[in-house]
Structure 1
Amino acid sequence: MAVPKEAVWDRDPHTAAKHDLLKRYLEAWAPILLSRKDVITYAEGFAGAGIYKQGEPGSPVIAYDVFAGALHRYPKRMRVILMEEDPRRVRELEHQMALARSRHTDHIAKRLTVDIQEGDFHPALLEKLRSVGALGQPLFVLLDSFGGPDIPYSLLHELGHQRGTEVMVTFGPTFLTRFAKKDEGYRQRGDEAFGNQEWQTVFQQPSSHKFTFLREQYRGTLRQAGFTHTLYFEMVDEGGRLLYLLFGTQHELGLEKMKDAMWKVDPSYGVRYRDPRDAKQQMLELELEPNTAPLRRILRDFVSEAPDGRTVLELQRYALLETVYRPTQVIKVVRQLRDSGVVTTGPGAITNKTRVTMATAAPEPSPSAEQEALW
């Protein structure tokens, strides 16, 4: 979306989806880390005003309320660090955070500190995190800009090489594909965001592949920065403009919890995604009954690559690390593959230890048969 000129603006459905995802993830993230550490930190580089025109809470307020709830169970401490460059939004943010604090007891508020900084987020955010000792400790950084590319690779690299840091980054490919080829300034911003010039190969890609190419290049940027595991969420606004939300972590548990959150986001918000391992690149909508046809294709191919087959535990870990799906969805899919004659398993119930092998002359399911198997 374009940068709003107003201090407070209308919240679009896709912002609501981001907030739903963020809330669900932080509700899992905070208790896990508070059970292990004495202090954890949450930071935002583009905090906004903390509220939208119709009174909906912004991400800083959502995060604060989640953390206050978690601190009722754990006698620990949390830091919230918020950066915002627009002075009008800073004033409103201070007001909204004061209101959030007033909803909780003084005992909680004393252990949940809020530090609001006015100014450009970089390098000020990194300097602030370093000064309070947050680097190297559990840290979640939300870099939710208006699409950019606004996040320099140097910041991601510094964060990614600190153990315990996770990031959620907004990335919009439109400006790079529309303007960067002829505009040196945009190309330079792209170089700074990706950390190299390899992304400029996008200009030689077919139009239909440009966005996907940039998305995968940016996932590579996150991995190069030190975030060994990445997920992406594809959002399209009312005007058809596409925006990616990317998550980076070093920990498999964080990846698993983010997947749990993404599959629970309200489908009315318009979030969708594709699995990068799916050869057909089928678009997946969030639904009450998830579409697992791509996972069936992916696991079938993975099993076929091993002469002795794979255990269910191997398939679950592959689903976690290499697909958008959750490990808990694997056993059901294996059962579907076995019932359709594609794979074989040992007798009895399917468990983590069950070995899955390709059936002799396994049938190739038709698209219509795959679709019917979903319902």
Structure 2
Amino acid sequence: MSGARTAALRRELLVRYLDVWLPRALNRSRRLTVALGYAGVDRDVADASLAALAEFADRFAGRRVTVVVLAPDPGLAERLATAQRRLGLPADVAVHPIAAGPDVLPAALRAAGAAGAPLLAYLDLTDAPVSLDPLLAAVAAGRPAEALLVLGGAAADAAPTAAAGRAGFTLCTEVELVPDDATAAERLVFATSHGRNLDAFKDELWALDEYAGVRYRDPRDPEGHLLDITLNPHPGPLRRELLARLDEGPATVTELRQFAASQTVYRAADVTRVLGALLAAGSVSRAPEGGRLGGDVVISREVTSPGGRRPA
């Protein structure tokens, strides 16, 4: 089962991202869908999400807001109805509780008419041995579509980035949530096709209050360094990953920012700070040599020391 510490962090992240996503979705379309699926009975996920929606209730008039909740909880419908009344959600918000696991998401989204409009799906698959392909393909019918997945336990060995690509998502980032207690780590996956939303997600990821007993780990970091949750994360792993990327060939600052956002746990904004340190240390070079470190500046590893050897 999901650890209590990581579950609290995930809920907070979902709520914070909903606060960013909802205004953008409402400006884009007169209808939108939020889908929540979890194999365990993590009741606080739905309650917290409905509370986040209630903050925007004054903007729902004339719009169709659909919330699909999938959970193997016999009391789900009654609880959500009570939550709707307590929060004062308007009639424009239609909540559809389905006492089943996330595997029925494709059928649920079709029934809700979610295709062609903004769709955000949160799927906790830590206790569900389901295939990612049909789930992500169903979410990808949204315009735009985004998915926040939690993997662990039975789903720990899934290949989410490849599955997201097959579904049509062009950007996918992963981070491991590592508790200090004996509970297992979980993998958090965010899939989108919009760089602006990826940046927003990363901003919220690092802006969370420091959770006691939970740290981040980059799944691609071969050394598996643990990172405290802070607005200024330790730059060591990003430094190594940028150098490894530059060993493959030169890249513009914009390309390195995109690389960091989608291929590491870091934000695009963290790249500027690390590149400044690498340039000062002589580990990389830039062209042109002077001026602002703008997006079109090319960064290269072809640097030689006075002795004619490239610095480590």
TM-score, length basis structure 1: 0.71
Superposed CA offset, 1:124-160 (max 9, x none):
x433321332123211112224533245643333333
Aligned residue among 200, 212, 226 for 1:257: 200
Distance in 2, Cα, partners of 1:277 & 1:172: 16
* AA matched with 1:321: S
Query: Kindly, what percent of the aligned residue pairs are identical?
Result: 30
CA contact (8 A) 1:49 1:89 kept: no
Aligned residue among 285, 288, 294 for 2:228: 285
CA contact (8 A) 2:35 2:69 kept: yes
The corresponding residue for 1:80 is 67
SS in structure 2 at match of 1:110: coil
Superposed CA offset, 1:326-351 (max 9, x none):
11111111111111121233223322
Distance 1:163 1:226, change over 3 A: same
* AA matched with 1:290: P
Distance in 2, Cα, partners of 1:341 & 1:121: 51
CA contact (8 A) 1:61 1:100 kept: no
Superposed CA offset, 1:5-29 (max 9, x none):
xxxxxx8221110011111111111
SS in structure 1 at match of 2:96: strand
Distance 1:34 1:47, change over 3 A: farther
The corresponding residue for 1:302 is 245
Distance 1:251 1:266, change over 3 A: same
When Rg is computed on C-alpha atoms for both structures, the one with the higher figure is 1
The corresponding residue for 1:131 is 111
Superposed CA offset, 1:238-261 (max 9, x none):
333222232222332332222112
Whether 2:278 is the aligned partner of 1:334: answer no
Distance in 2, Cα, partners of 1:355 & 1:143: 39
* AA matched with 2:304: T
| Aligned-residue RMSD, C-alpha | 2.8
Aligned residue among 168, 178, 202 for 2:148: 168
CA contact (8 A) 1:219 1:230 kept: yes
Whether 2:52 is the aligned partner of 1:66: answer yes
Could you tell me how far 1:283 is from its partner in structure 2?
Answer: 2.7
Task: Work out the number of aligned pairs and report it.
Answer: 303
Task: Extract unaligned runs of 5+ from structure 2.
Answer: none
CA contact (8 A) 1:71 1:77 kept: no
Task: Extract unaligned runs of 5+ from structure 1.
Answer: 3-10, 52-57, 176-192, 194-210, 365-375
Aligned residue among 295, 303, 308 for 1:352: 295
Distance in 1, Cα, partners of 2:39 & 2:68: 9
Distance in 2, Cα, partners of 1:158 & 1:96: 27
